[in-house]
Amino acid sequence: MTMPDATALILGGGAAGLQLGAALAEAGVKASIIEPRYDYVSDRTWSFWAEPDHPFADCELGRWSRWSVAHGDHHVARQSENLVYASLDAGRVYDRLTSIIDQSDCVTLHRGMSAYGTPERCAGPGRWQVMTDQGPLTARYVFDSRPPLQTRPVYGQYFLGHEIKTNSPCFDPKTAQLMHFRPHPDGTGVDFLYTLPFSDSHALIEVTRFTAIPPDEDQMAEWLARELQNILGDTEATLIRAEAGFLPMRVTSAPDTTSTPGYLPIGLAGGAARASTGYAFNRMGLAARALAGQVAD
């Protein structure tokens, strides 16, 4: 019988796929990651609540033990001696995980390769086939992190942010401003400003809307421009990068794999995002280590 190309195929090399690939590399499992992009750049941040010595502390762009929430004139600030709000630089995370994978003898990251369609069971026990733009690949397990096709609106958070540096101090670097609420234009969603000050002259400023209706992109851009003007005034600022996206916030049950043993959605596709906040990075890491252990056994 022809052996499969790998024990595991991972479709998508984002946060979920790379964390699983690195865990499989450390477990000595033969695996391949299929990733359309050729290069990884610092294109986003991942933020979450953590203990100070969490596994990705060396990838932090910033951390705060004090945070604030505001609504109108009501402002609340809290702090902790045992908990931090951490923000990771995606570029550092990518470098860390791809380095583990590239140095391994068992996991291969195929950059510039795309998987398409639904994986299919092959003839013979425990084998799957995935079609790619460079030909078919087979494996015993397939872990699919590709975002699912949305056939109807899904409630979640839409965000648009700018990471900027200013020519003079503008921010309080000791306090993360997590949810400073703003009036929603028509009352159908929840709007807030989110500011992560990495220093007194360097911050990520982001507008966020919780809604089931995709917001108008121009309206979001105008909102962000107003917030930046209110914060900066006449202070000059340099745009480091922009980020925009959508995080689903819904309750999802564990994927039913009884009829498809060996195939499993992971990451956001597998319900990693918390329904209350959208936070997903830590849950992806926990799932990666658990899955790697099961595959290695």
What is the model's pTM? 0.91
Q: From residue 40, how far is each of 61, 116, 172, 265 by CA, in Å?
A: 17, 21, 31, 22
Which of these ranges, 57-61, 103-107, 150-154, 165-169, has the smallest mean pLDDT? 150-154
Write out pLDDT tens, residues 248-283.
887 655 555 556 789 999 998 888 887 767 788 999
> Residue 234, exposed/middle/buried by CB under 10 A (0-12, 13-18, 19+)?
exposed
Q: From residue 283, how far is each of 20, 41, 222, 280 by CA, in Å?
A: 12, 23, 33, 5
Please tell me the predicted confidence (pLDDT) of residue 195: 98
- Write down how long the chain is: 297
Distance between CA 187 and CA 160 in Å, rounded? 19
- Looking only at the bridges linking them, the beta strands covering 263-265 and 135-144 are parallel
Which of these ranges, 54-63, 119-128, 134-143, 187-196, has the smallest mean pLDDT? 119-128
Rounded percentage of the chain residues whose pLDDT exceeds 90: 77
pLDDT higher than threshold 50 for residue 208: yes
Two tokens, residue 267: 């990451």
Write out pLDDT tens, residues 51-109.
999 999 999 999 999 999 999 999 999 999 999 999 999 999 999 999 999 999 999 99
Which of these ranges, 18-22, 129-133, 154-158, 214-218, has the smallest mean pLDDT? 154-158
pLDDT higher than threshold 90 for residue 155: no
Please tell me the predicted confidence (pLDDT) of residue 1: 46
Overall average pLDDT of the 122-142 stretch: 88
CB distance 43 to 176 below 8 Å: no
